[in-house]
């Protein structure tokens, strides 16, 4: 088989790595890929927004299966586009992808299907928003109603912070936002819960706890994710049953009622309040860095899982996992999530201790003349599997010290809620 993976981040390197382990696969393309994917795949430089050029490449190279990593092409309808041209592709269609593409779409679905979520209000301009802020109870959660790479969310403790959030969103900090969403602040603990679906059957695909804030102790600005651990310390069978019955199943029914089927990964960002799950948001793909954290614990051939989803035969596949714990720490460029330098060389890769329990997945990197350069805010993902989270984090810190990259930083407390309690 020939497989093409769309995307260039740590998630896509993790997908490429797991796909490369399949006996079914003879060739992997990454569009556009990064320095890490170039070691196990052929990187192809095509703009992910240019569906026609992507199709031409897939056709010319007889690609058997396409796997979509990031949200933008999904929300913009690449699955619909390629399926009409008889290309097999794994991921949700354009209608289903509105679960991530529009927070208001998801909130309305929650309202119509009695899915537990925070109370909310929607406004179209800054003037209406300011009026609401004047009388609203704080803390208040404010979100841009568009794709914002995980960063378009504000938790505002006082009015001044809320005014600033509204100004930044409507001034285009996260792209064009036609609407703004205000939410009740829920006091609890976050958890990421994943399923994979073929449109008829769905199966569990891991749980994790992400660390969104840039500073230790979950302080500072929001990021795309500074690290994660899996499984989440909150996860148990009783809670899972509530998640499935109150959130996942009604959501899939809501999509079915729109006349389509949900096929692909579905990532529920949850807030657990007194052992009750509330939906914060949906992502229609694997999380990043949760994907890098979860995939190394998968024992089943990922390609066979993808094929079963496309053929609506997921019920015939048993998905098996290792018993080990997994932890991921993201190495970022100094200055992230604000301005940072690019094209900074990274040395000492040969010193890293990498094996079946310790991995590095590249994100914002490129390779030139056999040298690796940092090109993004989130640069490298260090993952370790162990019988306990303490050893996993220790193994990662040892590798980070060996790399000794002074142009970057990382959070030393990833997993603190499960390790330090």
> 100 is written with which tokens?
């991530």
Q: What distances in angstroms separate CA 126 from CA 12, 34, 182, 296, one per listed residue?
A: 37, 39, 12, 45
Give the residue carrying structure tokens 């769905």: 202
Q: Can you tell me the distance from the alpha carbon of 170 to that of 41, in angstroms, rounded to the nearest whole number?
A: 40
Query: What's the pLDDT score for residue 146?
Result: 62
DSSP bridge pairs for 175: 173
- How many other CB atoms sit within 10 Å of the CB of residue 47? 10
Read off the pLDDT band of 98 (50, 70, 90).
very high
Query: How much is the mean pLDDT over the chain?
Result: 95
Q: Can you tell me the distance from the alpha carbon of 381 to that of 2, in angstroms, rounded to the nearest whole number?
A: 26
Query: What's the pLDDT score for residue 170?
Result: 86
Share of the chain above pLDDT 90, in %: 85
27-37: average pLDDT = 98
Q: Give the distance from CA 215 to its chain's centroid.
A: 20
Query: What's the pLDDT score for residue 150?
Result: 52
Query: What's the pLDDT score for residue 291?
Result: 98
Query: What's the pLDDT score for residue 193?
Result: 98
CA torsion through residues 406, 337, 154, 163, sign: positive
Give the residue carrying structure tokens 């998640």: 243
Is the pLDDT at 6 greater than 70? The verdict is yes
pTM over 0.85: yes
- How many other CB atoms sit within 10 Å of the CB of residue 138? 13
Task: Tell me what percent of the chain is helix, strand and coil, each rounded to the nearest 5.
Answer: 30, 30, 35
- How many other CB atoms sit within 10 Å of the CB of residue 208? 26
pLDDT, tens only, 113-132: 999 999 888 888 888 899 88
Query: What's the pLDDT score for residue 375?
Result: 97
Spatial neighbors of 20 by CB under 8 A, at least 6 apart, are: 28, 40, 41
Alpha-carbon dihedral angle through residues 221, 247, 9, 37, given to the nearest 10 degrees: 150
pLDDT, tens only, 231-290: 999 999 999 999 999 999 999 999 999 999 999 999 999 999 999 999 999 999 999 999
Q: Can you tell me the distance from the alpha carbon of 371 to that of 243, in angstroms, rounded to the nearest whole number?
A: 46
319-327: average pLDDT = 98
Domains of the chain in start order, with CATH, are 2-91 (3.40.50.20), 125-178 (3.30.1490.20), 189-316 (3.30.470.20), 325-419 (3.90.600.10)
pLDDT, tens only, 339-389: 999 999 999 999 999 999 999 999 999 999 999 999 999 999 999 999 999
């Amino acid at each position: 088989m020939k497989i093409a993976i769309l995307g260039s981040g740590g998630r896509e390197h993790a997908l490429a790595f797991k796909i490369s382990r399949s006996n079914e696969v003879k060739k992997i393309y990454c569009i556009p890929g990064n320095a890490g994917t170039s070691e196990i795949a052929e990187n192809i430089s095509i703009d992910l927004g240019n569906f026609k050029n992507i199709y031409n490449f897939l056709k010319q190279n007889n690609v058997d299966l396409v796997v979509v990593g990031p949200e933008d092409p999904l929300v913009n309808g690449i699955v619909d586009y390629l399926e009409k041209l008889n290309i097999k592709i794994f991921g949700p269609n354009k209608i289903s992808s509105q679960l991530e593409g529009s927070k208001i779409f998801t909130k309305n679905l929650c309202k119509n299907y009695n899915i537990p979520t925070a109370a909310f209000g929607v406004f179209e301009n800054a003037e209406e928003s300011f009026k609401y802020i004047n009388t609203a109870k704080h803390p208040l959660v404010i979100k841009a109603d568009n794709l914002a790479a995980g960063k378009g969310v504000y938790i505002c403790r006082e009015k001044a912070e809320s005014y600033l959030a509204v100004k930044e969103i409507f001034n285009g900090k996260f792209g064009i936002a036609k609407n703004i969403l205000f939410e009740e602040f829920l006091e609890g603990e976050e958890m990421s819960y994943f399923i994979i679906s073929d449109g008829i059957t769905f199966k569990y695909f891991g749980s994790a706890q992400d660390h969104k804030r840039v500073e230790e102790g979950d302080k500072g600005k929001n990021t795309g994710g500074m690290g994660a651990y899996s499984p989440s310390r909150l996860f148990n069978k009783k809670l899972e049953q509530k998640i499935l019955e109150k959130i996942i199943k009604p959501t899939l029914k809501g999509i079915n009622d729109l006349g389509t089927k949900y096929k692909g990964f579905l990532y529920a960002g949850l807030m657990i309040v007194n052992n009750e799950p509330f939906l914060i948001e949906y992502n229609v793909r694997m999380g990043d860095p949760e994907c890098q954290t979860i995939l190394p614990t998968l024992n089943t051939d990922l390609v066979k899982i993808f094929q079963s989803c496309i053929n609506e035969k997921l019920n015939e596949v048993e998905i098996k996992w290792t018993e080990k714990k997994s932890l991921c720490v993201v190495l970022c460029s100094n200055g992230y999530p604000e301005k940072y330098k690019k094209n900074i060389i990274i040395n000492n890769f040969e010193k890293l201790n990498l094996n079946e329990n310790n991995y590095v997945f590249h994100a914002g990197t490129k390779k030139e003349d056999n040298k690796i350069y940092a090109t993004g805010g989130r640069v490298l993902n260090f993952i370790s599997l162990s019988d306990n989270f303490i050893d996993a984090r220790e193994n990662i810190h040892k590798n980070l010290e060996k790399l000794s990259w002074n142009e970057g930083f990382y959070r030393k407390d990833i997993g603190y809620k499960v390790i330090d309690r």
